[in-house]
Amino acid sequence: MTKKIMPASGTVINKTFAYPIRVYYEDTDAGGIVYYANYLKFAERARSEFLRTMDINQQQNLIEKHTGFIVRSCQIDYISSAVLDDALTVICSVAEVGGASAVIHQEIFRDDELLAKLDVKVVHMNIETHRPCRIPPEYIAKFTNFIN
């Protein structure tokens, strides 16, 4: 193959990040609707791409700085169900940022219909000591650009 095909990467719209997701058969339960835990997977993929869009390289940070963002807590509200073949959009913005943590607000839509909303608190962690550490100032500045 001569042409490089890139995975979906999402797009920035104002102070939010939008990431496309397609619902596949593997995402659904016996009733044909998206299994509740898969909304967390959709949100995780979008958050990872959100960080990538902010030029925060998670793999490089793990290897070189021994730090990473770890989920501390997640509040999720399921509003409506997605089904097989739905085209979804996960919207990400920053609700708050502190010295060692941030809260990422996420909403999952099918067209204009809100299906789920999440508030995910992530902690910047030293993976060797398993202790929180300060978020680098350049990352705080990047997060601040997405406070909505």
Q: Which listed residue (27, 29, 77, 119) is catalytic?
A: 29
CATH number of 29-144: 3.10.129.10
Domain ranges of the chain: 29-144
For this structure, is 77 an active site residue?
Answer: no
Mean per-residue pLDDT for 27-41? 95
pTM beyond 0.85: the answer is yes
pLDDT per position as a tens digit, 69-80: 999 999 999 999
pLDDT at 8: 80
pLDDT tens, residue by residue, 87-127: 999 999 999 999 999 999 999 999 999 999 999 999 999 99
> Can you give the pLDDT at residue 1?
62
Sequence-distant (6+) residues with CB within 8 A of 26 are none
Judged by phi (left if over 0) then psi (alpha if -120 to 50, else beta), residue 55 lies in left
